[in-house]
Amino acid sequence: MKRTALVTGGNRGIGREVCRQLLRRGLRVVLASRRLSDGEEVARELCGDGAADVVVVPLDVSDAASIGACTEELTRRDVQVDVLVNNAAICPEGGVLDLDHETAERALRTNLGGPFWLIRAFVPGMVRRGYGRVVNVSSEWGSFGGGLGGPCGYSLTKAALNALTVKLAQEVSGDIKVNAACPGWVRTRMGGAGALRGVEQGAETIVWLATLASDGASGGFFRDKQPISW
C-alpha cells in the first residue's frame, strides 16, 4: 500500500528535502506551503519527468481556518494522510521580557498551535485505519537537557512541542508512532549560511521517523537516529 505523507513548510529548506527523500522512498507527498505558487514551483522541480506523486495544498499552520480548509480539500480529493510531518516553524528574536505580544502569539500559533490542530485533524483517521506516523520537527533549543538555548519564542514553543509529542504518544497505541526530531544546525534560511549541516543530513532523521517499521519507537526525541534528552 502506498502511504501518503503531509509535510508542512514543504516548499523550502528541510521541508523540501523531506519531501524529496520521502518521494524517493515511494511515498505520495502532500506538499503544504503558505503560498500555493511556491509549493507548485517546488513540486514541478521534485517531479521532474512526472513520475513522482505530489499533491500541493495551500496551508498557513498559524491559522486554524487554513488548516480546516486544507483538511476539507484533502477530503474532497479523497487523500488520506498516513504520515504527518510538522515541520513549519518560525524563530523570532527576543527574550521573555522584550518579545512583543503579536510576535509571541504568532510563534505560539505557528510552532505549537499548528501541530496541535493538524494532529487533531489527521490523527483520528490514522487511529481508525490502524496506521500512522507523526514527526514533530523540534530542536535541541527546546530541550531542558540542552539548556533551552536560542530566542525564547523558539525555545519555549519547541519545548511545548516536545510535551505535545509525549502526550500524544501516551494517547495512541498500536502501529501509530509519534516522535520528535532534532535536525541539528542546518544551512537553511532560518539556520543561516554558517550552519554545520546540509539539508540532506538535516532531513535524514525526520524521514527515518516518518517511515519507521511497526516495531519502531514512539514517544521519543531523536537526532541522527539516536535518542537525545528532553
Which residues are the active-site residues?
154
Q: How far apart are CA 177 and CA 201, in angstroms?
A: 22
Residue type, 13: G
Q: How far is CA 25 from the centre of its chain?
A: 18
User: Is the separation of the CB atoms in 153 and 96 below 8 Å?
Assistant: no
Q: How far apart are CA 135 and CA 181, in angstroms?
A: 7
Task: Calculate the alpha carbon distances from 211 to 3, 65, 123, 191 in Å.
Answer: 9, 29, 16, 25
Q: How far apart are CA 133 and CA 34, in angstroms?
A: 23
Instruction: State how beta strands 221-223 and 226-227 pair.
Output: antiparallel
